[in-house]
Each structure stands twice: as structure tokens, then as C-alpha cells.
Amino acid sequence: MTLPSVADSVEPAGATVGSGPPGEATRRHAGRDVFRAVTRNRKALVGLGLLVGFAVLALIPGQIAPDDPRAKVYPRGLGPSLHHLFGTTAYGEDVFSQLVWGTRQSLLIAVLVGGLATVIAVLVGVSAGYLGGTSDGVLSLITDVILVIPIFPLIIVIAAYKKNSGFFTLVIVLGVLGWSYGARQLRSQTLSLRRRDFLEAALVRGERKSYVIVKEILPTMTSLIVASFLGAAVYAVLFAAGLQFIGLGDPNSQSWGTMLYWAQNNEALGAGMPYWAIMPGVCVALLGAAFALVNYAFDEISNPALRLRRLEHKGAQELPSAPPAEVAADPEKILQVRGLTVAYASDAGPVVAVDNVDLDLKRGEFLGIVGESGCGKSTLLYAIARLLGAPLAGEITSGQVLFKGHDMVSLTEKQLRHIRWREYSVVMQSAMNALNPVLTVEAQMRDALEAHSEMTKREMRDRSKEVLRLVSIDPVHLLSYPHQLSGGMRQRAMIAMALLFTPDLIIMDEPTSALDVVAQRSLMMQIKELQERLGFAVIFVTHDMSLVSHFSDRLLVMYAAQVAEYGKTRQLFDHPLHPYTQGLLEAFPSIRGEKVPLTGIPGQPPDLLRPPAGCRFAARCPHAHERCSAAPPLYEVDGELVRCVLYEHQREAVAAQ
Amino acid sequence: MSEPLLRTEGLTRHFKVGKLLRQQVLHAVDDANFEIGRGEIVALVGESGSGKSTIARLLARVYKPTRGEIYFEGRPLSSLRSRQDRLAYCSDVPMVFQDPYSSINPAYRVTYGIRRALRLHRGDLGRTRRRQETERVLADVGLVPSAAIAAKFPNELSGGQRQRVGFAQALAFSPKLIIADEPVSMLDVSIRIGLLNLMSELREREGVSFLYITHDVASARYIADRVLVMYAGHLVEEGPVEDVIQRPKHPYTQLLLSAVPDPRAPLGLSDAADVGEPPKVVDPQPGCRFRPRCPYAVDECETVTPLLRPLGPARLAACHVAEADVGEPAA
């Protein structure tokens, strides 16, 4: 969320090393990226353009409007002409000159109030968040009080007392009353930062607390601080103009608000001098809009997640698309996936996260999908369950998913609602995020039951109790909130909810990865036991191959968006074919047998934005040779599928690809 | 016996929890006594909430002990009053954190922590020497080309690379003991082993000791010399790692070992699903904290807190029945 994150570099290591010291090279590189991001953002361009324009007016008004704005020397109430661009006032002053000279005060107020309010907001917000306890209580109370008091009337009262007291009183009053919103945001940001390890790391390193606040916390909040400044500036421009318009403040000052005040007093609109009244208002609006636009643009640039990206269909068509694979529905199989390809949009082009995957699932079968993070295993699940879309901007670009005769790819949301939960359900990785923290377990189960069935209250209650008992949770926990359950129990509750309608397929995305070994083991045993009893099929995604070794019937090993190996679990563990699978199995230390030195798999998976042309694993493969420069197809070996040329001479390729 | 590198005596840390009127005391760590020798890798294993991370933070001086004392090279930590002394301790005992995504400040280049550490603890180094030193520690942890890595921001590195940066920061101090709090548990299985190998290498090369905190017993066996098992704030078993894994004395250690997924072994039918949870130790009564989950519990476990007692060479366990009934692991 900080500015440097704009430098979302996709270049390989070493590309940034120039001739000079490395630091400088990246600084230049980052500067270029920021420049590019700004010039590509329309809001930033318009906002900054306006601000620069106003700044020029404020700095050199004399060069732009040579007329003295206060000289009452011209004929009164003139219409617009070449000499008087916006006519003259009822006192014989040039409206254009007044506008130009008035810019300085408005801009100055914006900058000074913005600065003052931001300084107070940072001091109050960060200390409240970092110190916590009583200091937080007192500071937050003050912030909240200022936040809720109606500021405009208060300022009118203050300004009326200090009438004609001039520019700096106005700045101070607006600044002192305008910081509370920013302070609230900074406080909550600091609170969330306090749980981040890097602050603790700084203390462990031996840093002083003051150093931690100034050098560790503040720089990570640059974007919020800038937003707080810009927000306060907008507020200052509007309020100052408003106050001057109703005659509070110095009526002899040169500002847009004062112009409005005099124009109003002379009923300029009705008296044929519309520009006198309209133009200052337009200027106030433009300056406010400029600050607001820069604020939005800053947010978008510093936080790439906010940018809405769509897969451009021009780009999508360039992707290699699989031949249309028509499958005949097979009653034995509840799920058939053919040639499934999913792509995400990114700034640098489409990223194919799932590349032409085929898989079949029989009734009651347990399929494990394993692979390193970023290999596309979760995306594959989401695509099958039709959960892609905002905020995951992935799209199925080709392929077919047949689930119990439904063509999942073409179903509408409405049709999906009929089969989701009833016929298949999904258990997510983090139960804490998937459960609603403010509802009891019972209320959440009731919501699901109400949305997908027509049960009576009593039936719903009975069913909820029944599924909780299934996962060995005492039904008294129906009245518990998620935070009152332990991690293991939350995951069990999630599985209970997935079982509400006894679906034929449950899709699980690393449901145990947040748990300890003991809880993990007992949850796995429970899933297997339920599966055998109720007969549903399971697709289970995990990065820990050993976890599913005793539970899954078949395993699909994914590497860099593709199927690397697919076969029976036992066979795959006993005789892994693909060097990647072999590497994965080699990566586990064991608690039994000889202690042997392990190597794991050196290196990292390739960048899916530009996958290597040949075998995607070649760069990390101990068996790589020149034949690997051509992309290997899937070969069938003893009923298993494997994508590796080592097996070329043994069997024919299954699918020409 | 000569003075070990680090030794604790009755180390205890409690936290106040609950509302103002119903304040309760959470016992995160109770009465922990252990030692870490020079050049030794000691694994501290247990479930989450067992107090492992609290011990790490006590040793790193993030928390102050409620009771008890930590002796480093024979000197009690409570006697470190001057900033000089405290900085010296910080440089001897750095810490590597669990989450590589949250332990590096995203606003700075990845070398920021290393450069700060060098500035704080080796202030005599000039600018150029500092840069050389930064690149040296990056290369030491396998981040090459180090000059290119040094110029990157955290978001440009993978999780495994970030965790290596964490170790590089610790090395910048020329440390004697590195506290590694679950350093690999958030990483992909395929790259975990690389970091574990790195830790062994650093011990061989630099003679650094490690306190390796984990819930993965297999990885503890892979790199550690000795293991401490923790349950609900108590140390329940201690011994040479191979010995403890082959012949666990405490029923909790046995449970922990039976839960380790091992693809090379057949699934034991005796693996009954244990649905118990480690308790939150709030205002505890005396007695064994594992007894509600323990298949061997006797009456004595209800009333008397078992203390660590010797059960063989270098072996300690806190269990009333360990010697009599649970001499061998249930097959």
C-alpha cells in the first residue's frame, strides 16, 4: 500500500542492475514506474493539471491578470468582452483579475489547513494506535467528539466571535477542527500494523520506540497520510469559501469566497453580471475536484488491488486455446473436466493460471490436488465451483466442466443457486474468514438452509444439530460465535455447514493448513470417516502431499498451471514418475527410518506471465536435457498420466497438445 | 558442568485477560527450566497456544518475565540496564519470525533491516564496508546475485526468499543464538527443507546456536540435537531428539508423534481420532494439564502438578505414570 509497491516489477533478477550502485538503479527504475503510472491514470492527469494551473495563477497572478483587482476604474456591470473576460463587478472591478488574484488565498488555505490537520491527525492517530490502553481511550474519545459535533455551525459561531480577525485565525480554526477523520483512519491503520511482525522485529533488533514510530510506522502509512492531507485540503477550500460567502472573515480580502459574498450582496445574477457570481463558485468546485481527483488517483496507484482489471478479449484470443472437447456425460462420473483453461488479467497481459486441465471424479471418490503455491490449484477449484469473478478477476477462457449433467461453465447465477450447496459445497482455507463473526453458528446455518430449501424452523434446527453431531461438535455450540470456537472446531463447523444438504461433492481448499498437526490429523480422519459413511466425493487441495497420502484415492500433481502427474495415490507415492513429484516426496523429513540429508527442490516455479516455451519444470529438474526445450505432452504409463519426456519411449502421448 | 550459553530458571509469563471487573490470568508459560548449549540446535515443539512463541518473545526481550530469570552466558537478563548492555544482548540473540510477509517492513528495500542492524551494532563500519557486509550476509543465506537482491523491495521476493532475508538480518549481528519462531511453517513444503539445511549449515560454519520453534516434529528431528516438548504452558518432556522420537515418555509426545503424516508408513488403525484441544490455561488449578486428553490418567493427575523428573540419560518428562506404564510407545 506504499508508493514503492508501484514498482511491481516483473523483470527477472539482475535486470535492474545498472552500471551504478544497485540502489540508485532501482530508484531510477521506481521513479520511471511511478511516472508511468501517473501518466496512465486519467484522474491523476486531470487533477494534477488543474492543481498546477491553479498554482501558476497563485504564484504569478500579476503576469496573467495585469489589472489591479481592486481598482474600481472600469465601467460598472460590463458583460464579458475581450478586455474583461468575465465582465466587471458592480463596483467597476475586473472579475477575471479578481478570480486570478483570489486563487492565492484559496490555495494557501487548502495547503495550510491540510498540513495542520494532517500533523494533528498523525500525532493523535498514531499515538493512540501505538500506545493503546488509556492513552488510546482518551485520544479516541476526543477524536470521536470532534468527529460528531456539527462543524459548520461551530465554525460560524467561532468566526462570528473573531470577526474580521483575518486569514490565520481561519486557518487555525479549520485546521484544529478538520483532523478528526484522518486521525480515525490513521489510528485503525496503526492498530493493524501493531500486529505486524516487523515492528516486533525492530524492537528485537534494539531500536528505540520513538524510532519505531517515526521510521517504521509512518513510512508504511504514506498513502493514508497523503489521503488525509488531500481530504483536509478539499474540506478547507469548501469551508473557507462557505464562511467568506456568508460574510464571516475579512470582507476586504482577495478570495473567491469574498467575491461570492459581494456578488450575492449586489444580486449579481439578477443584475446582468452572472460571471461575477458563477465563476468564483466554478473555481471553488474545480480546486476541490482537483484535490479529490489527485486523492483518488493516489489511492489507485499506490494500491494496485483497487484497479479493476478485465481480461481484454483481444488478449484472451491470443491464448492457445484447446481443441473443443465434447464429452459424453458418463453416469459413473459425477464430475468431468475437459481442457479447462483459466486466465487472469494483469497489467502486463493475461496470466494463464490453469492450462488445459482434464480430470474425472467418480461418485464417492477422494481426489487430492497438490502443488506449490501459485501453481493454479486453487484457481482450478474456483473454476470448477464457479467462484471466479470479483475480487478474483479470473475467467474461464476455454474448456468444459460437466457436473452431474450440468454444464457448469454456461450456467447462469440463478441456475447455479439451485445446485450450489445442495449438490456441491465448498470449504475454504480459513474458517475465520469464511464464517461471519457477528452471527452464531445456528444463524449462519439457518441462512444457508433458508436460502436453499423450504424447511420449517424446527426442521432447520434439527438438521443443524444433526450435522454438528456428525463432525463431533456438541450441539450447544449452535449458540456460539465463531471466535468462541477453537481453530479446529471452526473448521469442523465449516464442514458441518457444507454437509447441510448432504451434497454429492465437497470441494476443500487447504482446510487444514491453519491447524496444528494433531488437530489436522483428527480433522482428516473425520473427513474420511464422513466420506465413507455419507458417500460424497471430495476434491482436496493442499501443498502438503504427505497429508493426503492415506486419504485420497487419486492424486493430481499440478506444476505451473499444468497437470504434471495424475494417478492412483498409492502408486504415485510408491513409484513417482515425474521428477517434480519425486522432488516433492524427497522434500519431507520423516520421523521414522534413517536420517537422510534432503535437498528439496531448488529454485522457484516459473512466472506464469511468461512461462518457458519447453518443459516448465526443466529449470529445476535434475534430469533436464536438450529434449526438454519442447513442451512435453502427457504420456500414459501404467494407467498414470505424466508430463515428462523421460517416458516418451514407453507410451504414446495421450492428448496431442 | 560449565555454564551453558543460555539457561532459564522458573521462567513464567502470565497475561491479564478479560474485562475490568472479571479479570483473569492467562498462564502462557509456567515455570520453564531449560538450557541451550553453544553450537546446539534445540527444538521447542508443541501445538499453537502452548506457549512456544511466548518463550521466544521472552528470550528476545519483547516480553518481560512475570517470574523467573534468563541467564545468558551466566549473566541474568534483568541486570541489563544500560542501553549498551541491552544492545549487546540484541546483537547476540536475534530472532527470525514466522510470517515472512509481515516481518519485513514493506516501505523499505529488503536490506533495510540488515543495514539498520549493522548501524546499531557495528557502528564502526563505514558506508562501503556496510554495503559489502550486507551483500555478504545475503550471499551467506543463498540470496544471489546479492547486489540485485539488495535493491529489491519485499513484494518483489517470494516467501522463501523473504524468509532468507530474515535469516540474513539475524546474521548481520554476528549472533550467538538465533531464535527461529516457526520459520518455515508458512512456506511451501518444497522450499522448507532448503531453509532447514541453511540453519544446519550456519551452525556448522558460524557455530551459532538455534532455538527452533515448530509444531512439525519431523523437521525438528531433521535438524535439532535436543527437543523440548511443550503443552499448555508447561515443558512436559525433554531429551535428545532421536531418543525422544524413538521412545516418547510423555503421553502428549506420543500423541504428537502419532499425528505426523508419514506417507512411507501404513496408516495405523490405532490412530483413534483425538478430538481434544489444548486448553487455554486461565486461572489453573493444580494437576496435570494434559489429563483430560490422556488415556493413562490416574487420580494423582487430578490434584498434583507433575514436575519434570529424570527418566533415563538426559531424559526428563513431567508425568506421574510415565515410568511405570508408558515406558514404550504404544505400537
What is the tens place of the pLDDT at every residue in A236-267?
Answer: 888 888 888 877 767 777 888 888 888 888 87
Q: Which cell goes with B290?
A: 494434559
**pLDDT above 50: residue A389:** yes
Task: For chain B of 331 residues, list the mean pLDDT of each consecutive stretch of 10.
Answer: 87 82 85 95 90 93 93 93 90 90 87 90 86 90 85 83 89 91 84 89 93 92 95 94 92 89 62 62 88 88 91 89 54 34
Q: What is the pLDDT of residue A488?
A: 80
- Please write the tens of the pLDDT for every residue from A367-380: 999 988 888 888 89
Question: Does the structure show a pLDDT above 80 at A220?
Answer: yes
- What's the whole-number mean pLDDT along residues A98-126? 90
- The highest-confidence range among A168-177, A185-194, A303-312, by mean pLDDT, is A185-194
pLDDT over threshold 90, residue A174: no
Output the pLDDT for position A136: 86
Stretch A167-185: mean pLDDT: 83
CA distance B312 to chain A (A): 21
How many helices (H) and strands (E) chain B has is answered by: 12, 13
Q: Which of A219, A546, A598 sits opposite B261 (nearest CB)?
A: A546
Predicted local distance difference test score (pLDDT) of residue A538: 95
User: What burial letters (b/e) apply to A462-488, b meaning 16+ CB within 10 Å?
Assistant: ebbbebbebbebebebbebbbeebbbb
| Residue A273, C-alpha cell as written in the block | 453580471
CA distance B138 to B140: 5
Q: Which of A299-303, A351-355, A424-428 has the lowest mean pLDDT?
A: A299-303
| Bigger pLDDT: A322 vs A220 | A220
Nearest by CB: A549 against B189, B216, B263: B263
Q: How far is A222 from chain B (nearest CA, A)?
A: 9
pLDDT band at residue A6 using 50, 70 and 90 as cut-offs: very low
Q: Is the pLDDT of residue A22 over 90?
A: no
The minimal CB distance from A590 to the residues B107, B145, B262 is found for B262
| CA atoms within a 13 Å half-sphere pointing along the CA-CB vector of A95 | 29
**Residue B35 to residue A599: CA distance in whole angstroms:** 30
Cell numbers found for residue A512: 487444514
Counting every residue written for chain A, the total comes to 657
Residue A653, strand partner residues = A635
Structure ipTM:
0.85
d(CA A506, CA A499): 8
Task: State the pLDDT at residue A9.
Answer: 32
In percent, the amount of chain A with pLDDT more than 90 equals 23
Which residues of chain B have a CB within 8 Å of the CB of A604? 158, 160, 191
In sequence order, what are the residues at sequence separation of 6 or more whose Cβ sits closer than 8 angstroms to the Cβ of residue A366?
A528, A531, A537, A538, A540, A548, A551, A552, A553, A554
Percent of chain B exceeding pLDDT 90 equals: 44
Query: Across the interface, do A197 and B103 touch by the CB < 8 Å criterion?
Result: yes
Residues of A in contact with B121 (CB under 8 A): 206
Measured CA to CA, the distance from residue A174 to residue A132 in angstroms comes to 28
> Which residues have C-beta within 8 Å of that of residue B94, sequence separation ≥ 6?
A204, A205, B60, B117, B169, B170, B173, B175, B178, B179
Residue B191: which of A14, A22, A600 has the nearest Cβ?
A600
Q: SS3 of A444, please?
A: helix
Which residue's entry shows cell 532468507?
B164
How high is the pLDDT of residue B325? Answer: 43
- Are residues A302 and A3 in contact, defined by beta-carbon separation less than 8 angstroms? yes
Element (H, E) at B309: strand B309-310
What's the order of all strands across the beta sheet hosting A333-344? A351-362, A333-344, A394-403, A406-407
Cβ contacts of A202 on chain B, cutoff 8 Å: 105, 113, 116
Pick the closest to residue B36 from B227, B218, B181 (CA basis). B227
* Residue numbers in B near A578 (CB within 8 A): none
- Antiparallel, parallel or unpaired: β B177-181 and B209-214: parallel
User: How many CB atoms are closer than 10 A to CB A313?
Assistant: 10
> What does the H/E/C string look like for B117-179?
HHHHHCCCCCHHHHHHHHHHHHHHCCCCCHHHHHCCCHHHCCHHHHHHHHHHHHHCCCCCEEE
**Residue A30 pLDDT class (50, 70, 90 cuts):** low
| Chain B residue at shortest CA distance from A11 | B156
- Asked whether the beta carbons of residue B145 and residue A206 sit closer than 8 angstroms, the reply is no
- The owner of cell 541451550 is B36
Average pLDDT of chain A is 82
pLDDT > 70 in chain A, percent: 88
Phi (first) and psi of residue B254, to 5 degrees: -65, -40
Q: How far apart are the first and last CA of chain A?
A: 41
DSSP string, B223-242: H-SEEEEEETTEEEEEEEHH
Lowest-pLDDT range, A163-177, A345-359, B8-22, B258-272? B258-272
* Distance from C-alpha of A644 to C-alpha of A424, rounded to nearest angstrom: 34
Checking if the pLDDT of A24 tops 70, the result is: no
Average pLDDT of the residues in A110-114: 92
SS3 A385: coil
Say if CB A608 and CB A558 are below 8 A apart: no
Backbone angles phi, psi at A538, to 5 degrees: -130, 135
Q: Where are the alpha helices (DSSP H) in A41-94?
A: 42-59, 61-64
**In 3D, which of B148, B157, B190 has the Cα closest to residue A602?**
B190
What pLDDT score does A245 carry?
80
pLDDT at position A172 is 83
Query: What is the model's pLDDT at position A556?
Result: 96
Element (H, E) at B116: helix B112-121
Contacts of B155 in chain A (CB under 8 A): 4-5, 8
**Burial per residue of A104-125, b for 16 or more beta-carbon CB atoms within 10 angstroms, e otherwise:** bbbbbbbbbbbbbbbebbbebb
β-bridge pairing A640-642 and B316-317:
unpaired
What the block records as the C-alpha cell of B225 is 540435537
Measure B6 CA to nearest chain A CA, in Å. Answer: 17
The values of phi and psi at residue A478, to 5°, are -55, -35
Comparing A92 with A163, which gets the higher pLDDT?
A: A92
Angle at A138 between CA A135 and CA A142, to 5 degrees: 135
Cβ neighbours of A486 in B, within 8 Å: 277
Query: In whole angstroms, what is the distance from residue A492 CA to residue A500 CA?
Result: 13
**Contact flag B274-A518 (C-beta cutoff 8 Å):** yes
Q: What is the pLDDT of residue B4?
A: 92
**What single-letter DSSP state applies at residue A216?**
I
Instruction: Report, as an integer, the average pLDDT of A204-223.
Output: 87
- By CB neighbour count within 10 A (0-12 exposed, 13-18 middle, 19+ buried), where does A134 fall? exposed
Look up residue B120 and give its three cell numbers: 546499531
The CA-based diameter of chain A, rounded to the nearest angstrom, is 104
Could you give the CA distance from residue A514 to residue A534 in angstroms, rounded to a whole number?
26
Q: Show residues of chain B in contact with A17, CB under 8 Å.
A: 145, 147-148, 151
Beta carbons of A472 and B190 less than 8 Å apart:
no
Q: Which amino acid is at B24?
A: Q
Residues A551-558, mean pLDDT to the nearest whole number: 94
Note the pLDDT of residue A315: 45
Question: Residue A372: which of B106, B109, B190 has the nearest Cβ?
Answer: B190
User: Number of C-alpha atoms within 13 angstroms, CB side, residue B159?
Assistant: 19
List of E strands, A437-582: 505-509, 537-542, 554-559, 562-568
Q: How confident is the model at residue A206 (pLDDT cuts 50, 70, 90)?
A: confident
The pLDDT, as a whole number, for residue A163 is 63
DSSP state of A283: H
In chain B, whose CA is at the least distance from the CA of A27? B151
Instruction: Encode pLDDT of B239-274 as tens digits.
Output: 999 999 999 999 999 988 888 877 766 655 445 555
pTM for this model (two decimals): 0.81
Inter-CA distances, A148 with A145, A420, B179, Å: 5, 44, 48
Q: What is the DSSP code (8-state) at residue B277?
A: -
Q: What is the pLDDT of residues A86-103, one digit of tens each?
A: 877 777 788 888 888 888
Backbone angles phi, psi at A640, to 5 degrees: -105, 155
Q: Please report the pLDDT score of residue B328 as a whole number.
A: 47
- Minimum-distance CB partner of A373 among B60, B169, B188: B188
pLDDT > 80? residue A114: yes
User: Of B105, B106, B258, which has the smallest distance from its Cβ to A5's Cβ?
Assistant: B106
Angle between helices A180-194 and A95-131 (to 10 degrees): 30
Pick A445 or B329 by higher pLDDT. A445
Judged by average pLDDT, the poorest of A32-36, A411-415, B48-52, B58-62 is A32-36
Mean of pLDDT values over A140-147? 87
Please judge whether B191 and A488 are an interchain contact, meaning their C-beta atoms are less than 8 angstroms apart.
Answer: no
Determine which of A125-134, A498-507, B191-200, B210-219 has the lowest per-residue pLDDT on average.
A125-134
